[in-house]
Amino acid sequence: MHVHWHLAPHHRFLLISATVIMALTALFAASLLGTDLLRRTHAEQSPDGCISNDFVLNVQKSLTFFSDTTAISYTVLAGNPDTSGVGCDLGGVDLSLTTPDGIVHTIGVGLAFPIGTAVTVVGDAAYLPSTTAPASNGWFGYNGVSWVAVADASGVLLNNPVQDDPWEVRKTVSVLRASMSLSAVVAPPGAVPAGTPVVVTFVEANDGIVQLENVTVTSPQCAVTPLLNGGVNQGDLNANGLLDPGESWIFSCTLIVQETMDVTGNGAGRLVNSTLVIDPSNDPDERATVRILVIPPENPPEDPPEDPPVDLPPVGDDPIPENDPDGDTPTEVEPESDPPGGLPQTGSGGIAGLSGVEPVAYGAIVMGLATLGFAVLLRRVAGRGGVWRD
């Protein structure tokens, strides 16, 4: 006897409607999962009813942090170690990785991972960050692995990442920004006279979210040194030797200025436990320039020009004739003429060897004596009656 089960038309319509609704729900859930940075990864378990899923998926990067000018390599590792002791073989595994620029990199299609497969490298991908990428300052870092389970409205699991098939693995990417800023001030402020010692102070701040080590400031114009307090920089609040996020370290230098000039400081640092150096090539905020104004000296009043010295001939030397500029031609001396009266010249300019003043004096004496004698003669004549007789 054969029994045939026939469904009434309205029952058949309800069954078809329920099937369509369940399919649409599954597609909607899958579309949500497929938008993550690591595309949907599916696997078929065998045998059916496997009670444990030991599949492991991991992604490694070439750098923990990187700049917007440094390429990064992603390495995808996968395996199926029998960590639970009751794991199952996996087959038909498709793996892909989506980098932050939105490019989907296919890692593998239809891969098999029998139980006990060690975690090994299954593929890699590369990514060159840019300033247009959806991240702050071009710094990225992985945040870990999470298993995803999807449930319907009643709470029944549509897939169980531990016991059921299919399952999803999701990778998330978080933004990690490593950056510093540098500022500079001068003391005394404003314009200063030439020759004034000026102190330039640099403040290097960590405005990122990761610690920095080997922090320095250098300048081509002066020797910069850190301002220390107890052996550490004054801005090292917890004295751990690291420029922590939010800290500002202080550096300074002193120079004597002679003219207006620009002083430039260059900040540098390194991410902790990394070979990546933060420098102006990938973070332009850590260069600071300050201008020192110098007052030019006032010009002193000019003295009136002095008259050029006059060359006078030496005393006692005869003037040099015009026709003898060298003065080496002998000069003929003409004899002086006799004085008037026919008296010969003897001595220098006088009569009978007397000078020009002496004859006058002797003449006056002679005249005086002659007058005296004449007066005596007249007196004697007068005493005799005033008659002169031979």
Q: Is residue 74 part of a domain?
A: yes
Could you tell me the residue range of the domain that residue 185 belongs to? Answer: 180-295
Give the separation between CA 104 and CA 14, rounded to whole angstroms. 40
CA 319 to chain centroid, in Å, comes to 75
Q: What is the pLDDT of residue 119?
A: 85
Q: Is residue 215 part of a domain?
A: yes
Domain count, the chain: 2
Are 203 and 169 part of one and the same domain?
A: no
pTM of the predicted protein model = 0.40
Are 123 and 70 part of one and the same domain?
A: yes
Structure-token pair, residue 64: 């923990």
Q: Is residue 373 part of a domain?
A: no
Are 237 and 147 part of one and the same domain?
A: no
E strand or H helix that includes residue 121: strand 117-127
Give the separation between CA 379 and CA 377, rounded to whole angstroms. 5
Are 117 and 187 part of one and the same domain?
A: no
Partners of 229 in the beta sheet?
232
Are 194 and 276 part of one and the same domain?
A: yes
Q: Is residue 21 part of a domain?
A: no
Residues 65-101 have pLDDT tens digits of: 445 556 777 788 888 888 777 777 777 777 777 766 6
Q: What is the pLDDT of residue 56?
A: 77
Phi, psi of 123, deg, nearest 5: 170, 175
Give the separation between CA 58 and CA 42, rounded to whole angstroms. 15
Q: Please name the residues in contact with 292: beta carbons below 8 A apart, sequence gap of 6 or more.
A: 186, 192, 198, 200, 257, 260, 261, 262, 263
Are 150 and 44 part of one and the same domain?
A: yes
Are 78 and 162 part of one and the same domain?
A: yes
CATH code: domain of residue 264: 2.60.40.10
Q: Is residue 78 part of a domain?
A: yes
Q: Is residue 321 part of a domain?
A: no
Q: Is residue 314 part of a domain?
A: no
Residue with tokens 């202080």, as numbered in its chain: 250
Are 144 and 267 part of one and the same domain?
A: no
Residues of the chain with pLDDT under 70: 1-53, 61-70, 99-102, 129-178, 274-285, 299-305, 307, 310-364, 366, 370, 373-390
144, 175, 206 - which closes a domain: 175
295, 320, 350 - which closes a domain: 295
Residues 296-331 have pLDDT tens digits of: 877 665 666 676 776 666 665 555 566 655 555 555
Is the preceding peptide bond at 166 cis, omega within 30 degrees of 0?
yes
Where residue 11 falls (left for φ over 0; alpha for ψ -120 to 50; beta otherwise) is alpha
Q: What is the pLDDT of residue 314?
A: 63
295, 318, 342 - which closes a domain: 295
Q: Please name the residues in contact with 173: beta carbons below 8 A apart, sequence gap of 6 or more.
A: 37, 100, 140, 141, 142, 143
Give the separation between CA 247 and CA 211, rounded to whole angstroms. 10
Are 110 and 186 part of one and the same domain?
A: no
Are 144 and 231 part of one and the same domain?
A: no
E strand or H helix that includes residue 203: strand 196-206
Are 44 and 160 part of one and the same domain?
A: yes
SS3 325: coil
Are 152 and 82 part of one and the same domain?
A: yes
Q: Is residue 50 part of a domain?
A: yes
Residue with tokens 């060897």, as numbered in its chain: 353
